[in-house]
Amino acid sequence: MTPITAEILLFEGFDELDAVGPYEVFDYGREAGAPLETSFVTLEPTDLVRASHGMRVEPDGTLGDPDLLVVPGGGWASEDGGVRRAISETRLPAAVADAHARSATVASVCTGAMILADAGILEGRPATTHHTALEDLAEYTETVDQRVVDDGDILTAGGVTSGIDLALWLLEREFDADVADSAAEVLEHERQGTVHR
């Protein structure tokens, strides 16, 4: 199995489960034998990042050159929420576009897809997001009403808990089904939906 570095990109107002769900899945995959190193990162050095429900997370460092970059959502329903603010400040979408240009596989959870759309990397690709943002996403690309959409080097997941299914699919795709099944068993999670490819 080829080693993979995964970075989950945090920003003020991200949704907790969008980030923590995949992190935990990946860590159980590592425990099951996948050579996978996962970390929480930010664009700039910071001691803490506050999530949308008030949880504070201490990041491991700043965005590097990962094989896999996971972008959570959060705050799309608010005029000044996490994703909306991140898009208006422009730096986060630009960093995502740059990581993709440097050959990172980019995956989004929930309204993190809106950051990918603003980064310009969803054009002409099927994608999904939280059901409340599907109309907004349709202004950028073809939307698919599926839990997980895999378009090779870009993957998107629907709302919140679908990030767990996204991460389990990535374990299966990049390593093998046994690794994914082991992680799902520890989590007592029944995988939902089908992966649109």
Q: What residues act catalytically? A: 110
Q: Find out whether 9 and 96 touch, Cβ atoms under 8 Å.
A: yes
Q: How many angstroms separate the Cα of 138 from the Cα of each of 88, 114, 135, 141, 161?
A: 19, 10, 5, 5, 21
